[in-house]
Structure 1
Amino acid sequence: MKILYIAPKSPAPIIDGGCFAMMECLKGLSQIAEVDGIILATHKHPYTKESERVLKQYLKHQTVVRIDTEIKPTGALVNFIRRKNYNLSRFKSGKLYQEIAATLRKKYDYIVCDGLFASAQLSHFDFTDLPPVIIRSHNIESEIWKLHADLETNVLKRFYLRNLEKTLRKEETEILNKAAFIWAISPEDLEWITKNTTQKNASLIPVSVTLDERFPVHYSNRGFFHLGSMDWKPNQEAVNQLVKKIWSNPRVSEFTLKIAGSKSEHFRFLSTNSIEVVGWVKDSNEFMAKSGTLVTPIRSGSGIRIKILEAMALGIPCITTKLGASGIDMEQSGIQIAETDDEFVDLILKLHANEDFRQEVGRKSRDYISKVHSFDNCIALMKSTFGI
């Protein structure tokens, strides 16, 4: 079996949760079939020597297409007037169309698009002329923009965000309807697809997460941390709430809080005697294992939070919102849920004071990941799509 894999950015090196999820998908596909890849390279996610070195382990052939996805006011205005979604249009180009068309001459059994933006260019093809297209849905992208619009207080910005949401919902639904199969990453996303599209071949395939034995968690650590790419708005919002609303509470303000992740170094102005902005970390698992409890008050976004899954796989206790825990069984996993600032403070106090509780929560989370997100389980679900 031959598969053409299309990614909107290089899965390697793994610099954020999206890259992690893509790499796990690619690893799974390479166990099942011979895989060629079309990898998009952008200013934000360039294709590097490291990308080539890692990906050649899983791809027989790599085609790299460099496209310009930088936001330009004129492009945004033109798409607004044409009632087209600017987010998707930035992932389309004549060069990419030609590369896909040329690659498809090799004949493939399936096309796997890793995320909605990987499938954007396919809207210019007749799907009846293509091999069966599988779209792996990382998020319901239009729901992300709906939440952004709901939270926006500026009238003009909210109007523009509503337009982005409306146009994206229309195009997202059209693409999902055309696909042969949809792989949803979370139960909530699968439910949305079932209710809002005509897609009959949608199934849940969780992100596989390997238990990392290199870094044992020491539950004597009473500290807290947030880890995530700070060029993603939900993480920016979460950190702002952590610092300005939660850590400003005198009951917890003296507790240690570390903030780390890609681009977090730009937020060093948030540092205090108890808050340390670490910046990018080379090995996220090593950092998490020695930093205490993960706390992330997520208020927007869609899909499943990879960094939370990685932390749980290490046995790290986690505090987040119901939205942050999307795709995770809140009863079985041990994940701790808070919605208000006071609820976050109460849980922070409880975990800070009780080592036995930290250990109980962490071990329950690790057991959950080993059962639900194992590589073998995810491979089996992939194989069922291909009838093998």
Structure 2
Amino acid sequence: MGKKILIISPVPVFPWHAGNRMRIKSICDALITRGCELDFFYIGFDEKLSENHYTFFNGQVLDHLIDDTTTNFVKEPVLRIQEIVNGLKTRAGYFQRRLKYGEDSARFNKSLSEFKSIKKQRLLKEQIQKNIYDGVLLNYTVYSHLFDLFDDNVIKIIDTHDRLSDRYTLFLEEGVEPVIWKSISSADEKKSLSKADVILAITQKEAEYFRELIKVSKPDILTVTHLSPYDEVPLSAGRSGKTIITVGGKSEINLNGLNWFLDKVWRHITKKFNDAELLVAGSLCEQSSAFVYNENVTLLGRFDSTHEVYDKAGLCVNPIQFGTGLKIKTIEALSSGKKIITTKEGASGLERFIGKGLVMSDSPEEWVREISSHFECEENTADFKETLKAEVHKYNEEAFRNIYKAVQLETETLS
């Protein structure tokens, strides 16, 4: 009988247009394929989950709804006291960071207690008492307090998705106001990661960072890159060879990168090729008021499948200037059989693909040369695509092995 594993996530899996959702779904697909039974607990606060969750997971989708009104002290004094104590910890964390690390850390880093919902934790505790789990796979480090609900014999796995230590500094260094999301102190990240038996890092670089941060043999730290099997998307009939595409979600990081590209690269391309077209796909289009574009730029908006966008161009660009983790849109383009030009940051963790469809440069002049060369004389890509396909296969196989190792499944059967 297969292993029974609980998946916990602060984001829904469906619709899976965002990179983090695609990652969660891909890992779940891999485990289901190996005979695992997966339950799912949503720790976010959307009232309703898509019906796809109930058909995709082959175990239970646990109840996630709570009463989000203020707890009545008279009716539930213990719960209310727990919530008050948690709130005091949040406040204390702010002052501790301010004294120890300064005003920026106090303002932009969050306390672990801010990610803790006492009601959600209680709801999960009530439901797992009826189940015996072999493992629990938790998405994002900041929710590791939930591991306290499980016995020592349950394998506790954190899929980190990203390094979170002082993440706000990446924004400040680029002159961008930090996004109030998941940025915590290195001390809190160490504390949170130390609760796990296994940590999944999205790049080797981040795996090395976590090892240095924790400095103990436990937990086991494995690199699981973004799973993206090779599925070549041919250029649809009638599409212009002078069309390129960039795909991105709604974020300040992606907006910053697009503005860099439009200013430093694209305006030079359109002077040289007046019929050139840049397609922008994804929820990044919803920030169109924050970037300057002309008739040579077309906004495609959100999409349901990668085929919808990657069949429109033979060349992709990912102009991201800063960030952490693996740039999912880079590997997604490569796995679709597309050549992609990106920055050093955009190629982080994917350097093995340089010369196999991936062009890496931080020089705007080099970007202009590469795009111009592609427009003027599109190369015969048959050899490049075969090499790329083989490399993507090896890349995914390594990730699969570490997923199965994390839940203590045999890996010898992988080809």
TM-score (normalizing by structure 1): 0.82
Map of 1:41 onto structure 2: 44
Map of 2:84 onto structure 1: none
1:222 maps to which of 224, 239, 242: 242
Aligned residue for 2:62, secondary structure, equals strand
Runs of 5+ unmatched residues, structure 2: 69-86, 98-105, 411-415
Aligned residue for 2:122, secondary structure, equals helix
Matched, 1:309 2:331: yes
Change (3 A) 1:358 1:264: farther
Q: Distance in 1 between matches of 2:30 and 2:134?
A: 16
Q: Distance in 1 between matches of 2:65 and 2:384?
A: 44
2:316 maps to which of 270, 280, 294: 294
Map of 1:242 onto structure 2: 261
Matched AA of 2:8:
I
Aligned residue for 1:4, secondary structure, equals strand
Change (3 A) 1:263 1:355: closer
Runs of 5+ unmatched residues, structure 1: 69-73
Q: CA deviation at 1:246?
A: 1.8
Aligned residue for 1:65, secondary structure, equals coil
1:351 maps to which of 357, 367, 374: 374
Map of 1:91 onto structure 2: 115
- Equivalent pair of 2:166/2:185 in contact (CA under 8 Å): no
Map of 1:321 onto structure 2: 343
Q: Distance in 1 between matches of 2:119 and 2:235?
A: 48
Q: Distance in 1 between matches of 2:374 and 2:162?
A: 31
Q: CA deviation at 1:245?
A: 2.3
- Equivalent pair of 2:353/2:388 in contact (CA under 8 Å): no
Matched AA of 1:113:
L
Change (3 A) 1:321 1:233: same
Matched AA of 2:173:
D
Identity of aligned pairs, percent? 23
Q: CA deviation at 1:6?
A: 0.6
Matched, 1:101 2:117: no
Q: Distance in 1 between matches of 2:362 and 2:339?
A: 17
1:23 maps to which of 22, 25, 29: 25
Matched AA of 1:2:
K
Q: Distance in 1 between matches of 2:111 and 2:285?
A: 24
Map of 1:53 onto structure 2: 52
Aligned residue for 1:344, secondary structure, equals helix
Q: Distance in 2 between matches of 1:222 and 1:57?
A: 40
Q: Distance in 1 between matches of 2:348 and 2:63?
A: 33
Map of 2:94 onto structure 1: 80
Q: CA deviation at 1:98?
A: 0.7
- Equivalent pair of 1:188/1:327 in contact (CA under 8 Å): yes
Deviations 1:252-275 (A, max 9, x none): 573211111025134166331211
Change (3 A) 1:90 1:225: farther
C-alpha RMSD over aligned residues: 3.2
Q: Distance in 2 between matches of 1:253 and 1:323?
A: 28
Map of 1:256 onto structure 2: 277
Between stretches 291-300 and 12-21, larger displacement belongs to: 291-300
Matched AA of 2:94:
F
Deviations 1:176-234 (A, max 9, x none): 12210111221111121122223531112222213335x3246972311110112x222
Q: CA deviation at 1:317?
A: 0.4
Q: Distance in 2 between matches of 1:299 and 1:195?
A: 25
Higher helix share: 1
Map of 1:171 onto structure 2: 188
Matched, 1:194 2:219: no
| Equivalent residues in 2 for 1:329-368, closer than 5 Å | 329-331=352-354, 333-356=356-379, 361-368=384-391
Paired residues in the alignment total: 366
Q: Distance in 2 between matches of 1:42 and 1:363?
A: 44
Change (3 A) 1:88 1:355: farther
Between stretches 327-336 and 356-365, larger displacement belongs to: 356-365
- Equivalent pair of 1:39/1:65 in contact (CA under 8 Å): yes
TM-score (normalizing by structure 2): 0.78
Q: Distance in 1 between matches of 2:388 and 2:193?
A: 32
Matched AA of 1:295:
V
Map of 2:103 onto structure 1: none
Matched AA of 2:366:
E
Q: CA deviation at 1:278?
A: 1.8
Change (3 A) 1:292 1:143: farther
Map of 1:71 onto structure 2: none
Q: Distance in 2 between matches of 1:371 and 1:262?
A: 31
Matched AA of 1:367:
A
Question: Which of the pair has the greater relative contact order for Cα pairs under 8 Å at 6+ separation?
Answer: 1
Change (3 A) 1:344 1:185: same
Matched, 1:6 2:8: yes
Map of 1:62 onto structure 2: 61
Change (3 A) 1:272 1:179: same
